[in-house]
C-alpha cells in the first residue's frame, strides 16, 4: 500500500483542504528521471516518519500553474508545509538518510512559516 499521497491542484488552492500537521510535498513531473529515482525513498521515509508528517506528491505536468505559485524552477522539488504554508525547502538530491535527519530537525523545532523557497 502506497504511503505517499497524490495531491491535485484544487486542494493546494484552498488552505482549509490541507491536512493538519506537516506535509512534505514532492513536486515532480512524469519525464523527470530524478523524480522516479526519489519516489521509492520517499515511500520508505513516509513509513519511517508515519505519525510525524505526511508525504504527498504533485505532478506538475497536470497542474503547471502550481510551479509558479510556489516558485518551483526545477524538479524534483521538496517543500515542507504546515497547514498549507511552506515552512522549509529541501534539496531533493540529498541522500534519503540526510533528508530524514534534516526533516527530523525541522519537525523538532518548526514554528513559523518561511517567506519563500
CATH number at residue 17: 3.40.30.10
Could you give the number of structural domains in the chain?
Answer: 1
pLDDT in tens, 28-79: 999 999 999 999 999 999 999 988 889 999 999 998 888 998 899 999 999 9
Range of the domain at 102: 5-109
The interaxial angle of helices 33-48 and 96-109, nearest 10 deg, is 50
* Residue 114 included in any domain: no
Is position 73 within any domain?
yes
d(CA 66, CA 44): 26
Listing DSSP states for 48-81 in one string gives HTTTT-EEEEEETTT-THHHHHHT--SSSEEEEE
**116 belongs to a structural domain:** no
Domain assignment of residue 27, yes or no: yes
> Could you list the active site residues?
32, 35
Global confidence as pTM = 0.84
Amino acid at each position: 500500500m502506497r504511503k505517499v499521497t497524490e495531491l491535485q491542484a484544487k486542494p493546494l488552492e484552498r488552505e482549509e483542504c490541507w491536512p493538519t500537521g506537516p506535509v512534505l510535498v514532492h513536486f515532480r513531473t512524469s519525464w523527470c528521471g530524478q523524480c522516479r529515482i526519489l519516489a521509492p525513498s520517499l515511500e520508505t521515509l513516509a513509513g519511517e516518519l508515519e505519525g510525524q508528517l505526511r508525504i504527498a506528491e504533485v505532478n506538475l505536468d497536470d497542474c503547471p500553474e502550481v510551479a509558479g505559485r510556489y516558485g518551483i524552477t526545477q524538479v524534483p522539488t521538496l517543500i515542507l508545509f504546515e497547514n498549507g504554508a511552506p515552512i522549509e525547502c529541501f534539496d531533493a538530491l540529498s541522500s534519503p538518510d540526510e533528508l530524514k535527519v534534516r526533516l527530523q530537525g525541522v519537525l523538532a523545532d518548526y514554528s513559523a512559516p518561511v517567506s519563500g523557497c
